[in-house]
């Protein structure tokens, strides 16, 4: 996503769209963290920062599961019972590369990359609730293949 595309989507005409209109989050810590990291504070950068933080949280959760279950003899059955996904399928998930985001009609959209579409069921089993909560809190929308939440 580049700044000129962002400005074209959000900044033109009388009917400017605010991608954070539906957000129910505290922006103060986000802006503070961004300043500490040297980010320029623009709407595009704030949206990107929020999205990347979510992808990082998903990756950390996955790694916690992998670390906990790695030494188990019954790790596959444990993961299927507890998370609804096999250990191998959980290990194959990589939110930082599988997940993408874009701006469509003034809305921040999260989705799986084309190459990761086959992992949709595993993502929903493991991260469906977290993505739903993230969407409620931020107003961003996760779009599944052929539907949105």
Domain-located, residue 140:
yes
Domain-located, residue 125:
yes
Q: Per residue in 42-62, pLDDT tens?
A: 888 889 999 999 999 999 999
Domain-located, residue 11:
no
Q: Is 112 helix (H, G, I), strand (E, B) or coil?
A: strand
Q: Per residue in 8-18, pLDDT tens?
A: 556 555 656 67
Domain-located, residue 19:
no
Q: Is the pTM for the entire model greater than 0.75?
A: yes
**Structural domain tally of the chain?**
1
27, 43 in Cβ contact below 8 A?
no
C-alpha atoms less than 13 angstroms from C-alpha of 85 in its C-beta half-sphere: 21
């Amino acid at each position: 996503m580049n700044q000129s595309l962002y400005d074209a989507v959000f900044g033109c005409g009388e009917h400017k769209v605010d991608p954070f209109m539906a957000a129910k989050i505290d922006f103060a810590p986000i802006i503070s963290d961004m300043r500490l990291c040297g980010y320029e504070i623009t709407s595009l950068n704030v949206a990107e920062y929020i999205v990347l933080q979510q992808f990082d949280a998903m990756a950390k959760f996955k790694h916690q599961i992998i670390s906990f279950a790695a030494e188990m003899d019954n790790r596959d059955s444990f993961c299927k019972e507890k998370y609804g996904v096999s250990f191998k399928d959980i290990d194959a998930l990589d939110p930082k590369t599988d997940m993408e985001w874009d701006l469509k009609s003034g809305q921040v959209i999260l989705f799986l990359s084309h190459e990761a579409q086959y992992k949709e069921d595993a993502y929903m089993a493991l991260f469906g609730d977290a993505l739903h909560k993230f969407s409620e809190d931020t107003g961003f929308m996760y779009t599944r293949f052929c539907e949105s939440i």
